């Protein structure tokens, strides 16, 4: 594969005037100015609150974006999978925390290989047998593995079933010669998109009780808990209120999506973050009244949440409908409205994390100019 092929069909447009308008579509477009404002806004908020951030790479899966988050003051990066951690580490990113259990023997072997090259790597566990397997692997490898105990705070996806189990695991890690207990994790993913801010705030505070109980019990036993990690974009300005979290695992804030734009911000006003991620598409058919067909369908957007939302290029009131694997329908508010074949438009992505995972590249723009194309290194990495 040549360097040009690796960057895709739009490589020749980099730094050309008005090249955003000439992108071969469908294309995943990243507005660097908006993203950088989002990263700066979260960094400033966290600094004001006296809490650290360890942004979640499951959103962007990108070495370039992770590096910018670190440059803005993040103390490290979260990864949902071992594969994501491997991809980011290969790009020189450190301070990695794998937030999901690594269980299969083959993956534990990969984890040990990654730790051998990355001393700051941390991994989570929520099961004593898994902890013992990690301990044995670390001992056989001749190094100490940093460990965070995952506590279920109501999502019921991962995490110990109660605070007492978390305390027992923390004690075991603390007593181990091959593990280093670093702290506890609690991620309330089910809370992040509660639409009403007051309801979201109350739910988050209630759900974090097991995490607080585990922290308090460990402190009473004389075990230091330097890290209490969790939260997300939806509770970034809620969870610091109770003085529990030492760091926030925020992710979507960097680019935003329709899901978060539909969630009420504090005070009912605008989010401090703005959309920075779009899918650019082209009208490929306009034969019928009331609608047109574009070249971005089911294979271009996550389908687990709301529909894509038009950002530019369509008449006011038009809305999107999925129209097959490769196509979407632009439904006009009036049967008299039209878009010409070849017209370009952009959509705000519905759910950023799985949408990003559908693409090989970010088409990075500043204003109307394509300024770079970045690979999405951790796409599909498990």
Long-range contacts of 117-120 (CB under 8 A, 24+ apart): 117/89, 118/89, 118/94, 119/143, 120/76, 120/94, 120/95, 120/96, 120/146
> According to the model, what pLDDT value does residue 2 have?
47
**In which band, very low, low, confident or very high, does the pLDDT at 27 lie, cut at 50, 70 and 90?**
very high
Helix axes 105-117, 82-90, angle to 10 degrees: 30
Instruction: State percent of the chain over pLDDT 90.
Output: 98
Average pLDDT (363-370) is 98
Closest C-alpha to 247, from 159, 328, 183: 183
Confidence label for 5 from pLDDT (cuts 50, 70 and 90): low
Q: Is the pLDDT of residue 278 over 80?
A: yes
Q: How confident is the model at residue 6 (pLDDT cuts 50, 70, 90)?
A: confident
Residue 292, strand partner residues: 330
The Cβ of residue 212 has, within 10 Å, a number of other Cβ atoms equal to: 19
C-alpha radius of gyration, the chain, whole number: 22
Residue found by looking up tokens 């989002």 in the block: 38
pTM of the model: 0.97
More confident residue, 335 or 369: 369
């Amino acid at each position: 594969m040549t360097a040009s092929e690796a960057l895709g069909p739009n490589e020749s447009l980099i730094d050309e005037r008005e090249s955003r308008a000439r992108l071969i579509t469908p294309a995943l477009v990243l507005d660097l100015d908006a993203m950088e404002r989002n990263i700066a806004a979260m960094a400033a908020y966290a600094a004001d609150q006296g809490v650290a951030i360890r942004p979640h790479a499951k959103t962007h899966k990108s070495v370039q974006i992770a590096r910018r988050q670190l440059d803005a003051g993040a103390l490290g990066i979260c990864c949902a999978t071992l594969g994501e951690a491997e991809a980011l580490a290969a790009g020189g990113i450190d301070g990695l925390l794998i937030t999901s259990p690594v269980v299969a023997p083959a993956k534990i072997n990969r984890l040990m290989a990654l730790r051998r090259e990355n001393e700051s790597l941390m991994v989570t566990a929520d099961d004593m047998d898994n902890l013992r397997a990690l301990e044995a692997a670390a001992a056989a490898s001749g190094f100490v593995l940093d460990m965070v105990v995952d506590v279920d705070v109501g999502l019921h996806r991962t995490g110990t079933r109660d605070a007492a189990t978390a305390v027992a695991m923390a004690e075991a890690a603390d007593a181990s010669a091959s593990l280093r207990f670093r702290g506890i994790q609690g991620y309330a993913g089910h809370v992040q998109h509660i639409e009403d801010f007051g309801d979201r705030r109350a739910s988050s505070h209630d759900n974090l009780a097991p995490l607080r109980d585990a922290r308090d019990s460990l402190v009473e036993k004389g075990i230091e808990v330097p890290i209490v990690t969790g939260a997300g974009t939806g509770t970034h300005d809620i969870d610091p209120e109770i003085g529990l979290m030492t760091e926030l695992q925020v992710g979507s804030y960097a680019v935003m999506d329709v899901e978060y734009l539909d969630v009420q911000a504090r005070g009912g006003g605008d989010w401090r973050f703005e959309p920075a991620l779009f899918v650019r598409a082209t009208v490929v058919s306009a034969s019928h009244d009331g609608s047109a067909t574009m070249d971005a369908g089911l294979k271009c957007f996550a389908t687990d949440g709301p529909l894509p939302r038009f950002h530019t290029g369509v008449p006011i009131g038009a809305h999107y409908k999925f129209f097959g694997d490769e196509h979407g329908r632009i439904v006009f508010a009036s049967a008299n409205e039209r878009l010409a074949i070849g017209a370009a438009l952009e959509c705000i992505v519905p759910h950023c994390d799985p949408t990003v995972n559908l693409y090989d590249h970010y088409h990075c723009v500043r204003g109307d100019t394509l300024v770079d194309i970045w690979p999405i290194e951790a796409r599909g990495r498990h």
